[in-house]
Amino acid sequence: MKSITINGSQRESVGKKATKALRNAGQVPCVLYGGDQGMHFSAPELAFSKLVYTPNAHTVVIALDNGETFDAVLQDIQFHPVTDRILHVDFYQLYQDKEIAMDIPVHVIGTSKGVLNGGVLRKNRRKLRIKALPANLPDFLEADITPLKIGGKLYVTALEGEGYTILHSDNTVVVQIKTARTAVVDDEDEEEELEEGAEGTTEGGETPEGETAQE
């Protein structure tokens, strides 16, 4: 998984007055959890643009001005309700030998036969929560919709892979092809239905009404 570096400074004062002064100076107060105790630091608001305003998932390298560095993931972020400015960010420290749970974006690939026939692609899950060691965290999960016909569904089991565990039940639908008014039935689908309907009839045709077929 790609990583973004956040350059910051460790905070000594964590009161409301100090926090307000940081925000007025264009800094964002942050906390890094996962160690023996939470570590408070601050970083420029602009440093979070590539981390927050993107659909992609990233790990983070927190580089402090005292020379210390920490591997982490974004855990929580608070925005101002009116201005949408970043008010506070929480990170969780990564350890290479400990698994971490993280939301990973789903990328839809392929061309669905159902969509070509007029069906509508519905993305039920744009992100999936997975658990893995930091080295095994994927940038994204691929959902191949190529085999889906109208009414078809793709479940999380189709996105399973080595090195990570998907933290959703097996019947969770990732994407599906919904029927639309303009949708047309595929010729192959019609042939399959006709073949299924023909099963059980005799070579001479259907059993006459009111009669019972003799063995």
CATH number at residue 151: 2.170.120.20
Task: Give the pLDDT of residue 151.
Answer: 93
User: Which one is predicted more confidently, 53 or 126?
Assistant: 126
Same domain, yes or no: 34 and 52: yes
Same domain, yes or no: 138 and 88: no
Task: Show the domain range for 82.
Answer: 3-93
Q: What is the pLDDT of residues 7-59, one digit of tens each?
A: 999 987 778 888 889 999 999 999 999 988 889 999 999 999 889 888 889 99
| The last residue of a domain, from among 48, 70, 93 | 93
Domain membership flag for residue 201: no
Same domain, yes or no: 86 and 124: no
Whether this model's pTM surpasses 0.85: no
Same domain, yes or no: 74 and 105: no
Q: What is the pLDDT of residues 69-81, one digit of tens each?
A: 999 999 999 999 9
Domain membership flag for residue 158: yes
Same domain, yes or no: 64 and 120: no
Domain membership flag for residue 85: yes
207, pLDDT greater than 80:
no
Same domain, yes or no: 104 and 181: yes
Q: Please state the domain count of the chain.
A: 2
Task: Give the pLDDT of residue 35.
Answer: 82
Same domain, yes or no: 104 and 190: yes
Cβ-proximal residues to 3 (8 Å cutoff; 6+ apart), any chain: 58, 59, 60, 61, 71
CATH number of the domain within which 82 lies: 2.40.240.10
Same domain, yes or no: 79 and 104: no
| The last residue of a domain, from among 93, 112, 136 | 93
195, pLDDT greater than 60:
no
Task: Give the pLDDT of residue 53.
Answer: 85
Calpha distance 62→71 (Å, rounded) = 6
User: Which one is predicted more confidently, 185 or 25?
Assistant: 25
Phi-psi region of 117 (alpha: psi -120 to 50; beta: other; left: phi over 0): alpha
Contact by Cβ (8 Å): 156, 168: yes
| The last residue of a domain, from among 55, 75, 93 | 93
Domain membership flag for residue 25: yes
Same domain, yes or no: 66 and 8: yes
Task: Give the pLDDT of residue 13.
Answer: 77
Same domain, yes or no: 82 and 104: no
Domain membership flag for residue 150: yes
Average pLDDT of the segment spanning 200-214: 46
